Chain A
Amino acid sequence: MRSVFVRHRWEPYLWILPSILLMLVFVVFPIGIVFRLAFSRISRAGVVGEFIGLKNFQDAVSSTAFPQVMLNTAFWVVSVVGLSTLIGFTCAMVLNQPFRGRKIARSIMVFPWAASLVIQASVWNYIIKMEYGNLNNILLNLGFLQNAVNWRASYQIEFIWECAVGIIVTIPFVTFTVLSGLQSIDASYYEAATVDGAGFWNKLRHVTIPLVKPSLTVSTVLNIIYVFNSFPIIYTITKGAPANKTDTMVTYLYMLAFYDQRKGPATALSVIGFLILCVASGCYMLMTMRKEDSL
């Protein structure tokens, strides 16, 4: 279709030119630079040397911390995305019910989404301190505890705390995307289901879930990508200590690049992360594009 809006063939390109330029310079160029660095020798001072093939990748993968870091990343993504989707879905179901104070509840739900992650991570870091943390303080004051409990006794427990904070800050995103999907469901479906004698679980299985599936998919895929890239929580609470035991890929990469000044392995890791993301976002793109075709 030739629309009235296009008077010259090149006109649409003029409209998208600024956005293309912006993305080209600040998104595509860095990608190119990272790829070039990943295959080059880089001195500690940051001087880029000759092409050395996969040496940087070898260095990155063979480091002692690497298996633990990858394991942590997998655990981090799976637990945070899985649990926040589950809880967020439940919250959306509840918020979709009509009740007094629903608006207030929705406004409260916004808090963790709106506030900066560094700030929330700092607050949680304070809450779970043993000597003066707020959790111990409140439990002692209420008489639930006799003595202060060390809430971060080992690095595994600290990592679980980090995952929990990740889940808390991710829930609102899932809740609101699913909620917008729920609200677009026509009430007549439920009426029909009620006439057919379906109970709560049947309605959930045969009406709600199929109909919110599109928004659930979108939120899950976006979530996987955000959570994979999430940096401030771990960086604020443990900084990956002790000895990279609580690092995920992005924090490890940051430490390599800007603390240890080992830019070579760091860029190699960037490329690996980039490829993982590309697979994830490629799947996402295929799904949305297919939807587009069907419309």
Chain B
Amino acid sequence: MKTLSANPVPRRRILLLILSALLLTILLCSLTFLRFSSQLYVKRSPNTFVGDEKYKTVRQEVELQLEDFRTQGTDAVIEEQVIERVNSKNETTSLVIFTICAANSRSGWNLLSAGLPSSYLLALILVLSAAAWLLTLCSSFSGNRALGIASFAFSLAAFFLIPVIFNRLNLDLSRTAALAQSGGDTAALDRLRPALDRFLFGSTAGDQLDSMLSALKYNICAAPFLLLLPAFITVCASVLAACRPLKKTLLRVALYVSVILFSLFILYPFFVMFITAFRSNTETTDMYFLRILPSRWVFSNLGDILKRNVLRYLGNSLLISGGATIIALLCGIPAAYAMARMDFRGKKAYLGFVIMSQMFSPVVLLVGISRLMNTLHLNDTLMGLMFINAAFNQAFAIWLLRGTFVSISSEMEQAACIDGCSVLGAMLRILLPMAAPGIVTTLIFVFINAWNEYTVSTVLISTQTNKPITVGITQFSSFNMIEWQYLFAAALLATVPVIILFMLIEKHLAAGLTAGGVKG
């Protein structure tokens, strides 16, 4: 009673919402759900040329037939098809096929009374929403929250069933049409047949049902989807009825749903990579045999690519990335240490240069790099790539390491230095162990960057056996034939370790990247 007097406005609002949802549902159910055309009558007229005497008489006959259908109240049109052939005597023969097609439409109410699987779904949706409306009204008048939550559950269920009904209707029609065409006579088709006959042809098809089904052209309209709107209004009304706590729950649900959907979206290409890596060769390029999951998991793809140099490429990548990481750290740690602990003229200028150099990408400098490598005789060698990767990651390395060093107090090192320890000793014994997380982060980050590097490698490396994996996998995609299953199997091998490594450092990395930039 308290809620009744306390908030009359939401109650009126709920009543309004429910009425509009009800009206919308009724309206939408009487809209056209399905448009289709069916063949009512076929007349084949051989040895007929368009416009000659025979054509005219047959045409008249067909038009009479059409009049008949029209007087029965069917909306029909004539379609004509001309087939011309040259026979063995070099004469042209012509066959004209006249077809009378009825253009029909069926509304939601027709579907409901048909008894197809999708009709039961529609009925279920209507019952669920009716229950939701009733429960919402009850809970808003009695102030009972449990009823509100139940109505919310019902309306949500109805909401999610709507796309299913669309899908199901589509499936019923397309599957039966395909089965009728191929002459397949399964038990499933037998069960569907009377219902379809009732739904589409008003139980008048009789023996001709199969041929009519196989010639069926149909188009499912958007009306089933529009039902989402009243369902959504119902959901809103039930939330309003159950008021605040449920609103929070709803936000929570929305959060989880969006996180899950977005995660699926992010994972989708990786899922595609994974399943395609284990498909058979014929399956990757033929859509008609393509199921969502491989019909046969071909694990031998992995073995096949190992025979084709992939191990070698992985080894090269490992060498290049490992070498680049070592060089970058050997040069980067002392520099970062000097920048963090010492004061000297030109420090700011060097820091500026380091920040600037982070911006130069090897792509813009490709011509220069390839010429430099020629003069240094590092062209087409792993060594050259190591140095290039180390140099272009130097900025990151110094940046991340300096941030780590600055965040560690220098007091202990100072004490060690005063006690007679050398600066190098203090760094090695005290600072580096303390900075280990930061160093590991830098190490992995540089390693991954070098591992994923593609552009410079394509230009510098031409020997087959010196290619890193990113370049090596392109051998599976030549101009006229791409062996997708091998391409993705190799890609899988190259991706899995990197992702695992990256997950380990993700937390430190983001903080390091911005902290370095912001706090210095």
Contacts and interface: CB of A to CB of B under 8 A. Distances in A.
B343 to A, nearest CB: 6
B499 interface: yes
Interface string B193-204: 000000000000
Contacts of B413: 5
B368 A143 contact: no
Nearest to B265: A168
What 7 pairs across the A-B complex have the smallest Cβ distances?
A30-B368, A229-B361, A114-B502, A26-B391, A176-B510, A281-B359, A15-B338
Contact of B287 (A115, A136, A292): A136
Interface in A195-247: 214-215, 218-219, 222, 225-226, 228-229, 231-232
Contact of B367 (A134, A266, A285): A266
B334 interface: yes
DSSP majority for the A interface? helix
Nearest to B417: A4
Interface in B492-520: 494-495, 498-499, 501-503, 506, 509-511, 513-515, 517-520
A65 interface: no
* Most chain A Cβ neighbours within 10 Å, of B258, B344, B410: B344
B366 A112 contact: no
A208 B350 CA distance: 34
A168 B361 CA distance: 21
A124 B268 CA distance: 10
A52 interface: no
A156 interface: no
DSSP majority for the B interface? helix
Interface in B473-504: 473-474, 477, 484, 487-488, 491, 494-495, 498-499, 501-503
B267 interface: yes
Contact of B292 (A19, A107, A138, A215): A138
B518 A218 contact: yes
B414 A4 contact: yes
Interface residues of B, number: 105
Given A19-B394, A27-B357, A141-B291, A118 B369 contact: no
Given A180-B515, A270-B365, A18 B334 contact: yes
A94 B355 contact: no
A16 B339 contact: yes
Given A33-B371, A114-B499, A114-B501, 18 more contacts: A15-B335, A18-B331, A18-B334, A22-B394, A27-B357, A27-B360, A27-B391, A33-B367, A101-B259, A112-B266, A118-B470, A123-B270, A131-B287, A215-B517, A218-B514, A222-B513, A257-B367, A284-B359
Interface stretch (B53-61, B73-81, B451-459): B451-459
A29 B502 CA distance: 32
Nearest to A119: B491
A83 interface: no
A19 B334 contact: yes
A19 B353 CA distance: 12
Nearest to A38: B367
Contacts of A143: 167, 170-171, 174
Contacts of A278: 356, 359
Contact of A148 (B287, B364, B506): B287
Contacts of B356: 278, 281-282, 285
Contact of B347 (A1, A12, A270): A12
Interface string A143-168: 11010100000000000000000001
B388 interface: yes
B250 interface: no
Interface string B145-178: 0000000000000000000000100110010000
Contacts of B365: 27, 30-31, 34, 270, 274
11 contacts: A9-B344, A18-B334, A22-B391, A27-B391, A132-B290, A146-B174, A177-B513, A225-B359, A250-B363, A250-B364, A277-B360
B368 A33 contact: yes
B237 interface: no
Nearest to A2: B343
A149 B369 CA distance: 43
Given A22-B331, A91-B262, A284-B359, A124 B269 contact: yes
Interface string A109-140: 11111111111101110110001101011101
B359 A277 contact: yes
B461 interface: no
B501 A270 contact: no
B49 interface: no
A109 B259 CA distance: 10
A295 interface: yes
B491 A122 contact: yes
Contacts of A6: 342-344
B133 interface: no
Contacts of B398: 19
Contacts, number: 307
Interface in A270-295: 270, 273-274, 277-278, 280-282, 284-285, 288-289, 291-292, 295
Nearest to B286: A132
A82 interface: no
A18 B372 contact: no
Contacts of A108: 263, 266-267
A75 B250 CA distance: 38
Interface residues of A, number: 109
Interface of B: 167, 170-171, 174, 252, 255-256, 258-259, 262-263, 266-270, 272-273, 276, 284-287, 290-292, 327, 330-332, 334-335, 337-339, 341-344, 347-348, 350, 352-353, 355-361, 363-369, 371-372, 387-388, 390-392, 394, 398, 410, 413-414, 417-418, 423, 448, 451-452, 454-455, 459, 470, 473-474, 477, 484, 487-488, 491, 494-495, 498-499, 501-503, 506, 509-511, 513-515, 517-520
Interface string A11-28: 111011011111101110
B255 A99 contact: yes
A107 B394 contact: no
* Most chain A Cβ neighbours within 10 Å, of B252, B365, B372, B390: B365
* Most chain A Cβ neighbours within 10 Å, of B171, B259, B268, B502: B259
Nearest to B395: A23
A19 B331 contact: yes
A1 B410 CA distance: 14
Contacts of A267: 367-368
B368 A32 contact: yes
A263 interface: yes
Contact of B259 (A2, A105, A127): A105
A132 B285 contact: yes
A3 interface: yes
Contacts of B273: 119, 123
Nearest to A212: B514
A274 B360 CA distance: 8
B285 to A, nearest CB: 5
B514 A140 contact: no
Given A34-B368, A131-B285, A22 B292 contact: no
A219 B363 contact: no
B322 to A, nearest CB: 17
A26 B291 CA distance: 50
